[in-house]
Amino acid sequence: MTHFISKRSVQGEPHLELGHTTFPMLDERHGCVAGFKSGISVYTTLEYMPPGIHEDQEGFVVLEGTGWAKVGDEECRLEPEMCFVAPAGVPHCIKRDPDSEHVKVCWFHGAIA
């Protein structure tokens, strides 16, 4: 078991959906417990997609690009080095700005005790 992984060493195909690509990375194979997992997603859509809603909380760190995120009824402009959280059960989505190629985020799901 290793506690480290790079995007280029992710096994299998990335998860492709219209408007974004997800690279699942850290999970129980790397020592994560209680449902914690992490990865990188690249959003290329100019419009909000149907929102994600999860039973656990999801945090985000913006790595590249500019755009917008919506968490519940709150909307915020995104730029690199920003963080935000989507609490459990709250709809959330991301879109890029027209002059930005994409918004790349690191995401992590955290278990709720």
> pLDDT per residue over 22-67, tens digit each?
999 999 989 999 889 999 999 999 999 999 999 999 999 999 999 9
pLDDT for res 12: 63
* Residue 40 within any structural domain of the chain: yes
Question: Is the Cβ–Cβ distance between 46 and 96 less than 8 Å?
Answer: yes
| C-alpha distance from residue 80 to each of 36, 54, 105, 106 (Å) | 23, 24, 9, 11
Q: Which residue has the tokens 């994560």?
A: 32
CATH number for the domain spanning 55: value is 2.60.120.10
Give the pTM.
0.91
Range of the domain at 65: 14-110
pLDDT for res 17: 77
* Residue 8 within any structural domain of the chain: no
Give me the number of domains the chain comprises. 1
**Cβ neighbours around 81 below 10 Å, total:** 7
* Residue 1 within any structural domain of the chain: no
Of the candidates 97, 14, 17, the residue with the CA atom closest to the CA atom of residue 50: 17
* Residue 79 within any structural domain of the chain: yes
Degrees (nearest 5) of the Cα angle 42, 113, 82? 30
